[in-house]
Structure 1
Amino acid sequence: MDSGFYKIYHQHEFDSREHLENYFSDQQKTVFGEDALMFPIESLRNIFTLGHIKADVLIELSSGSMVHLLYAACDFFKHIIVLKVSDGCIMELKRWLDSRTGAFHWGHATKLHADIEGSIDQLHDKEEQVRTAAQHVMKCDFEKENMTDPIVLPPADCIITAALLDVIFKDRDDYIRYLRKILRLLKPGGHLILIGCLDMTYYKVGKDTFHAFKYNEVFARKTLVGEGFIIENCKIHKRTAVSDLTDYKALILIVAHKEI
């Protein structure tokens, strides 16, 4: 397939609901459960329960309209700010946060988190806890000096960014340049949790094929170290999904902080 015809996540029409159905639903035909749901839910829970990443403000900046990345975080942060580059993704996320009719069903992901946490009898409470914590959902624009202009955000104690840098930039220079913009939102000594797809060149949403920036573990590590970050933990999860919807080889999760 000629990559010259690939669409770009934030520049072309992107069906946020179909994206969720393709990669995050509980339908039997969806084969990404272990990769897209279990790996980040379990990893984030383990990270936060260690206790050294716990403060006031968390910024979550990811592709699509994912909710499950917030399950563990809402136990450890008073305020969660969610940034999206797409109006459609904001609408889809707010539909769930506001408990509107027709919102995407995240109950299966909530159950996965509850199973790990050992709180299976508190499924409804967990979803309400996420809704209470994630009251700030807003659009961001990487082309602006201040991505949330005219709003100036409080410095974050922790940033989670998942699969966003992978899909909105075309080359290494762009990746590094816009990563720096994300890092400006982080307070000195704060933590970055970076989740990405290794060696991915495309992903599909419905009939559309979208561009992905291909990189490996060495590039991800060197880039963060080059920005003055100390890597505390790096996990690689080899792909288990069998599907032609996307061609990533593995998932990476890095926890890092910048020296004060």
Structure 2
Amino acid sequence: MSSPATLDCNDDTTVFGLDTYLKHYYPDLDKSTSESLVNIFLLDSLHDIFNSVVGVSGNRLIDIGAGPCVYQFISACTKFNEIVATDLSKENQDAIQRWVNENADAFEWSQYVKYVCELEGHQNTVDREKEMRKAIQNVTYCDFSKKYPVGSSDSPLYDCVLTGFCIECIVNSQQQWVQYLNNASNLLKSGGWFVQLCMPADFYMIGDARMSCFKVDEEFVLKALKEAGFVVVKSYLTKHTSTRSYMNYEFTMVVLARKL
């Protein structure tokens, strides 16, 4: 899952630089930057979802198009025993695996972990990172365009499917958006939870490279989930009014839904 403009479902990080991408879109949580404010909104929303009274929990969670990120698992790892992180890009998969393995060259997420721990009323970030690493039991390949983005019709289903900033980076139409939601639903148990993070934009930049996206409004995001057979339980929205030369977007949205 993964960032305000993640490259989740493609290989653009390989071409244009994973380090450049992470440093730009995941800076320190200094509230003076636009990216930090977006990331704080995401952490707050995910904290609320995984600590809400509706009981978002279970045994297995999968993230389709996680990009090179792990922040989306900080709250989730306390509610799910097994997390599967997936991405189309091998470089993104390797970035997650380096963090899980505590490699010296792994991206540093400790400030994000610290922020969530403080939301929960404690500061035990070391234990939380251990809990995250224990929960992330598999980092593997996915393809959102497939009927089953991971595995097959015979594979065990998940209690929760999460996807962040992925669909808008790879679809070309509203019909395709709904189809990709249907593909995600095929991995989910009946009654299972679906969490979507999205920031539909016309484009975003990685360094000097301009990447295309598919832009929709917030009403369509909710409508598409319903068309794909989900019931929307709760949504979180933050508007963006300032102009950014590196990304054209108007809102960030986090939605909790449930499969009928």
144 and 258 in structure 1: CA distance in 2 versus 1, 3 angstrom threshold:
closer
For residue 201 of structure 1, give the secondary structure of its aligned residue in structure 2: strand
Q: Is the 8 A contact 1:234 1:254 kept in 2?
A: yes
Change (3 A) 1:149 1:234: closer
Q: How far did 1:63 drift?
A: 4.8
Displacement after TM superposition at 1:149 (Å): 4.3
2:119 to 86, 105, 116: 116
Write the mapping of 1:87-106 to structure 2, written as runs, cut at 5 A: 87-106=90-109
- Hey, what's the Cα distance between the residues in 2 that align with 1:239 and 1:128? 35
**Would you say 1:31 and 2:55 are equivalent positions?**
no
Alpha-carbon separation, structure 2, partners of 1:114 and 1:250:
26
Counterpart-to-counterpart distance in 2, 1:170 and 1:63: 20
1:154: Cα distance to partner? 2.1
The secondary structure found in structure 1 opposite 2:225 is helix
Q: With structure 1 as the length reference, what TM-score do the two structures score?
A: 0.88
| Contact preservation (8 Å) 2:61, 2:82 | yes
1:226 is aligned to 227
Number of aligned residue pairs: give it.
Answer: 250
Structure 2 CA distance, aligned partners of 1:9 and 1:227? Answer: 20
- Code of the residue aligned with 1:92 in structure 2: it is A
- The runs of 5 or more residues in structure 2 that have no matched partner are 1-6
Q: Deviations over 1:120-154 (max 9, x none)?
A: 1x111111111110121100123444333479642
Aligned partner letter, 2:218: E
Q: Deviation at 1:155?
A: 0.8
Separation of aligned partners in 2, 1:15 and 1:152: 37
User: Secondary structure, in 3 states, of the residue corresponding to 1:32?
Assistant: helix
Per the alignment, residue 3 of structure 1 pairs with: none
Report the 3-state secondary structure (helix = DSSP H, G, I; strand = E; otherwise coil) of the residue aligned with 1:213.
coil
Moved over 6 A (4+): none
**Superposed displacement of residue 16, structure 1:** 2.6
Gaps of 5+ in 1: 1-6
Report the secondary structure of 1:112's partner residue: helix
Contact 2:229 2:259 in 1 (8 A): yes
Q: Corresponding residue for 1:188? A: 190
Tell me, yes or no, if the aligned pair for 1:34 and 1:240 is still in contact at 8 Å.
Answer: no
Residue 25 of structure 1 deviates from its aligned partner by 2.1
Partner of 1:59: 62
Instruction: Give the equivalent residue in structure 2 for 1:4.
Output: none
The answer (yes or no) to whether the contact 1:90–1:138 under 8 Å persists in 2 is: yes
Determine what percentage of the aligned residue pairs are the same residue.
Answer: 26
Whole-Å separation in 2 of the counterparts to 1:14 and 1:183: 31
Alpha-carbon deviation of 1:190? Answer: 0.5
CA RMSD, Structure 1 to Structure 2 (Å): 2.3
The change in CA–CA distance for 1:39 and 1:140 in structure 2 (over 3 A counts) is same
By how many angstroms is 1:171 displaced? 1.8
CA contact (8 A) 1:31 1:241 kept: no
After TM superposition, the structure 1 stretch with the greater mean CA deviation from structure 2, 38-47 or 236-245, is 236-245
Greater alpha carbon shift after TM alignment, 42-51 vs 212-221: 42-51
**Paired letter, 1:214:** K
One-letter amino acid matched to 1:155: L
The answer to whether 1:83 aligns with 2:92 is no
Cα displacement (A) at 1:27: 8.1
Instruction: Indicate conservation of the 8 Å contact 1:56/1:78, yes or no.
Output: yes
Contact persistence 2:177–2:224 (CA under 8 A): no
1:1-260 matches, within 5 Å, as 10=10, 12=12, 13-26=15-28, 31-35=34-38, 37-51=39-53, 52-120=55-123, 122-149=124-151, 153-198=155-200, 200-239=201-240, 243-259=244-260
Compared CA separation, residues 66 and 8, structure 1 to 2 (3 A):
closer
Shift of 1:62: 3.3
In structure 2, relative to structure 1, the CA distance for the partners of 1:21 and 1:242 (3 Å cut) is farther
**Residue 17 of structure 1 aligns to which amino acid in structure 2?**
D
